[in-house]
Structures are given as structure tokens and as C-alpha cells.
A and B are shown apart, each in its own frame.
Chain A
Amino acid sequence: MGNIESIRQALCDVRKAHRIIYAYQKRMMDIVRFIGNKLDFPFVEGYKHFSNGAPKKISSGTWAWDYLYTYLYEYYLGTKVNPENNIEYALSIFQFSDTGFFESDKSVRTNLSTFVEEEAAESKFLFFLEIKPKECPWWWKTEVINKKEFATKNHTSTILKEGESIIVLYSVGIEKFIDEKSALEVLNEFCALCSNEGLIELTLH
């Protein structure tokens, strides 16, 4: 009977967890839309990362992670051109709900015990901004965000040069989006990073 009771309590936690995730994810979508509006990007498209999306037909290769879109999700905000019409830039925001998998070198996606403890991980946004001359092709290898140096809680910002493209990677803890004032501070810091490095002048709308 003790086991039945622990299962019941666990299932109660499952219900709580689902409701927490709903409340959390609504806020994530609100924040991303706010960022898109403030940086004046045209739209938001979403892409799942960390595993495949949930398939219609469940097979042995289907993971539970396939049903959990919020673990690592990309919001692609589209492309823009600078006022001089010679530079293009594109922005994605990656929602790392849990960096725990990425913090350890020995993690296995389907074995939660190999992830670092929840308290030792972080929930963060990673801004991925590519800037290039208009006539050059996009680099846009977003799989780079899976690298430990960018995916973990210790990452702050990195600027990569890939061919003619400049890639700005900027990490910020989700707790920084506590309210609008804080959110604007984050965005101003991001804009200042891009400006101070002589990359692109972004203004908040």
C-alpha cells in the first residue's frame, strides 16, 4: 500500500508539473513576443530541439522528450535589413528550460540521472543573431547552440566569425525577465553588445 501511496503522490506531482509548465510556457511565449515587438522583428516561428517532435505513430524510437516541446525550443523571429540596405540580420531566441543535460559531459538524453541536479542547472534564453552582407549566403548553423560552451549556465556572450557572417550568441537567465523594466534592461544590454562590437545598430522600438 505504501507503494500505491507514493505513486499517487507522484501522479499528483505530475499534475502540478503540467500546470506549472503551462503557466511557465505562456510567460515564455509572452516574453518572446515582447522581444520581437521591441526589436521590431516581423514574426515568430517555433522549432523543437533536443529531440524529434511527437510522431503520429509511436515506435521504439519515440522518446518521451518528443512530447516535451518546452525543454529546448527555438523561436525564429525572421530577418531584417539595415536602413542602408546592405546588411541583413536574422534572430532566433532559444529557450533552454533546463541546461542540466548540457552541464555534464556524460549526459545521456534518455537517462535523467546523468543530468546535473536541477539546482545546479539554469533556465535561460540564448539569443542567436546572424549578421551578414546582403549579397552573401546565410551561415545559420543553429546546431552550434548544443555545444557545451554555449548551452550551459556559465555562457554569457560569444561572437563568432563564420565566413562573411558574424554570429552573436548572448545568454541571459530567464529570471531576468521578471518584469517589463528588467526585460528592457536585458534588451538594451543586448543592443549595446551589438553596437559596442561595431556589428549592427539595433534600436528598441
Chain B
Amino acid sequence: MLQALLHKKLKASFVDPTFKPSEDTLTSSVIGLLQYLPSDILSSILKDACGICNSFPIEIGDVLDIRFWEHWDSNNTTNSKLVEPDVLIVTEYYNIIVEAKRSDDGGQYREQWQNEIIAYRNSYSDDGHKLVVLALGGNISLAEQVLKIGNDSFTVFCASWFNLLHAISKQFENDYPAHIKRLLSDIINAFEIHGFFDIEWVNTLTHCPLNSKTVTVFSQSGTFSNFYQLCIPLKTNHFSWEI
């Protein structure tokens, strides 16, 4: 949220003055808080969010910087003015472009990833880090993809917000210090403001005894209608029960 505020992305979200969650407030709230986690926890979460058999690096190195909504040079892209990825995560070994969508329902497309890779290379010199893309939300398929641009190949990792939230929730199983758990809790709260809730399994469904005679009480035609008499129909097509 703070990032969205700093980058003036909240105009459409405070209306009348009701808060309207948006793609930018979701990105800002979630990644804006993820950035404060230790690097090993962050990389574990991102890897888990990308699925079971993905090649997302286990070790991305220390997170050096996280930048939101930068404006990159659009030369050789299909954008006319600029290219604006959602987040750039700079680590010791990787530069991770994050392209986020508001929901998990669709919206990601290859051309946009391509534009962002080209624009990144326009705007930054080669620092020896491996460049990858994380497509977060809006994926029709969660299988990782490979983009070829010239002679180079780039991996696009696809994750859903649902999987990212679940990956974060699972971190509570670890024995972390209280301040880490508070951060994780805030991230989960940020998800909930935006309508994302973690999975509840059947093991948390509690047994609540019901009286086995209840169905009989309602099924017997005499029982209920002893107290609720059909009144004389009004001059409509409706029947009414008079109490």
C-alpha cells in the first residue's frame, strides 16, 4: 500500500471515500510487504508459489532492491512511449521482473513479457545477473514458459495469487521469530482486503450434532401447520401463512 501511495497509484482506489482494491493496491500491499522478509524466506515463498516441479531458483541470493512501476525505454517494443513493469526485484544473482494482474482469471500475455524484457535491456546495462520474469496472477496456464528474444532465452515463471497466498500461509508452519510472523500475518490480511482467502481443509470442519428428529418435525405435514394456518387467499396469486 505504501508503495502505491508513494507512486501515486491510489487515485482510483479512494472513491467517495470508499477504498476500492485494485491491481496496484494488491501488488503494492503484497509485494510491498514481502520485500521486508529475509531473502531466503522470500525466495522459498516465490518458488513454492510457482508450483511443484518448477525451475525457479532455490537460491536467488540476498535481495538488494525492489523497485515499483519504473519507466523503461520502449525502443524496439510495441509500446510507443514507455514500458512500465509492476516490480523489479534485484537480488545478488537474479533480476526478476514481476508482471502482476488483478485476479487469477486472465490477462497475462507473451507480448507484454517480451516488451518488458526488451525495455529492461534498453534501460539497464548487463550486470551479469540472470533475468527472469514472474507472471503473477492472470495466467491461463501455470506452466513455466520460455521466451526467445534474438539469440537469448528467458524463463517466464507463472504463479497465481491463490498459490502465492497459500505459499505464504504455509510459512507459519516454520518456527520463525515473532516479527516475521507479524509480517506474514499482515501480508495475509492484505490478501483478504483484496478478496483472496487461503484454503481451509476438511480437517477444520467441526462436528456439530443435530437432532435426528429435526427432519421429521418438518416433514410431517400435521406438525408445522398446527401453528401456521393458511389464511383466506388475498386477491392475488399468492398464498400467505398467517401467524
Contact = CB atoms under 8 A, between A and B. Distances in A.
Nearest to A111: B219
Interface stretch (A6-14, A65-73, A85-93, A141-149): A6-14
Contact of A34 (B105, B199, B203, B223): B199
A3 B53 CA distance: 61
Nearest to B163: A37
Nearest to B210: A13
Interface in A9-39: 9-10, 13-14, 16-17, 19-20, 23-24, 26-27, 30-31, 33-34, 37-38
B240 interface: no
By DSSP majority rule, is chain A's interface helix, strand, loop, or mixed? helix
A193 interface: no
Instruction: Give the size category of A's interface with B.
Output: 35 or more
A91 to B, nearest CB: 14
Contacts of A26: 200
B162 interface: yes
A13 B211 contact: yes
Nearest to B224: A7
Contacts of B176: none
29 contacts: A3-B226, A6-B223, A7-B224, A7-B227, A13-B211, A17-B210, A19-B208, A20-B208, A23-B205, A23-B206, A27-B201, A27-B204, A30-B200, A30-B201, A31-B201, A33-B199, A37-B162, A40-B141, A40-B143, A112-B215, A113-B219, A177-B201, A177-B202, A180-B199, A183-B201, A203-B53, A204-B52, A204-B53, A205-B53
